Amino acid sequence: MLNTLSFGLLCMLSRGSFSGYDLMLKLQPFWQAKHSQIYPLLAKLDQAGYVEHIKIEQSDKPDKKVYSLTGKGRQALIEWVPEPAAEPPTTRDEINLKAYAMWMISDKDAMRQLFETKAAHHREKLEYYDRLLEQVKQESGDNLESIDDKNFGRYILIRKAITLANTQIEWCGWVLSFFDRHAQKEERQ
Amino acid sequence: MLNTLSFGLLCMLSRGSFSGYDLMLKLQPFWQAKHSQIYPLLAKLDQAGYVEHIKIEQSDKPDKKVYSLTGKGRQALIEWVPEPAAEPPTTRDEINLKAYAMWMISDKDAMRQLFETKAAHHREKLEYYDRLLEQVKQESGDNLESIDDKNFGRYILIRKAITLANTQIEWCGWVLSFFDRHAQKEERQ
DNA sequence: ACGACCATGTAAGCGGTTACATGATTAT
DNA sequence: ATAATCATGTAACCGCTTACATGGTCGT
Domain spans in chain B, listed from the N-terminal domain onward: 4-80, 94-188
Q: Do A104 and B81 touch (CB under 8 A)?
A: yes
For chain A, 189 residues long, give each residue's pLDDT as a single digit of tens.
899 999 999 999 999 999 999 999 999 999 999 999 999 999 999 999 999 999 998 888 888 999 999 999 999 999 999 999 999 999 999 999 999 999 999 999 999 999 999 999 999 999 999 999 998 998 887 778 889 999 999 999 999 999 999 999 999 999 999 999 887 877 766
The whole-chain average pLDDT of chain B stands at 94
Chain A residue nearest residue B16, CA to CA: A101
**In Å, how far are A18, A122, A152, B40 from A53, measured between CA atoms?**
9, 36, 27, 44
| Closest CA in chain A for residue B157 | A96
Around Cβ A54, how many Cβ atoms within 10 Å?
A: 10
pLDDT single digits (tens) B51-90: 999 999 888 888 899 999 999 999 999 999 999 999 999 9
Please tell me which of the candidates B11, B100, B146 has its beta carbon nearest to residue A100: B11
Q: Is A183 on the interface with B (CB under 8 A)?
A: no
Question: From CA A187, how far away is CA B93, in angstroms rounded?
Answer: 45
B128 CB contact with strand C at below 7 Å: no
Q: Tell me the nt nearest to A37, Cα to C1'.
A: C16
Close Cβ partners of A100 (under 8 Å, ≥ 6 residues apart): B11, B12, B14, B15, B30, B153, B154, B157
Residues ≥6 apart with Cβ < 8 Å to B116: B172, B176
pLDDT band of residue B188 (cuts 50, 70, 90) is: low
pLDDT at residue B144 in the model = 83
Question: Is B183 within 8 Å of chain A by CB?
Answer: no
The strand ranges marked E within B3-48 are 18-19
What three-state secondary structure class fits B35? helix
Q: What is the pLDDT of residue A188?
A: 67
Give the contacts of B78 (CB within 8 A, at least 6 positions apart).
A104, A105
Tell me how close the Cα of B177 comes to any Cα of chain A, in angstroms.
10
Q: What pLDDT does A143 receive?
A: 79
- Side-chain-facing half-sphere of A67: CA atoms under 13 Å: 27
Report cis status (omega within 30 of 0) of the bond before B40: no
Cβ distance A24 to A33 under 8 Å? yes
Listed by number, the residues of chain B in 134-163 with a beta carbon closer than 8 Å to a beta carbon of chain A are 145-154, 156-157, 159-160, 163
**pLDDT at position A183:** 77
* Residues whose CB is less than 8 angstroms from the CB of residue A3 and which lie 6 or more positions away in sequence, other chains included: none
CATH of domain A4-80: 1.10.10.10
pLDDT of residue B43: 97
Q: What is the pLDDT of residue B140?
A: 84
User: Confidence class of residue B184 from pLDDT cuts 50, 70 and 90?
Assistant: confident
Q: How many CA atoms lie within 13 A of A162 on its CB side?
A: 14
Nucleotide D6, nearest residue via CA and C1': A61
A83 CA from C3 C1′ (Å): 27
Query: Is B19 near strand D, with its CB below 7 A from some atom of it?
Result: no
What's the rounded mean pLDDT across residues B17-42?
A: 97
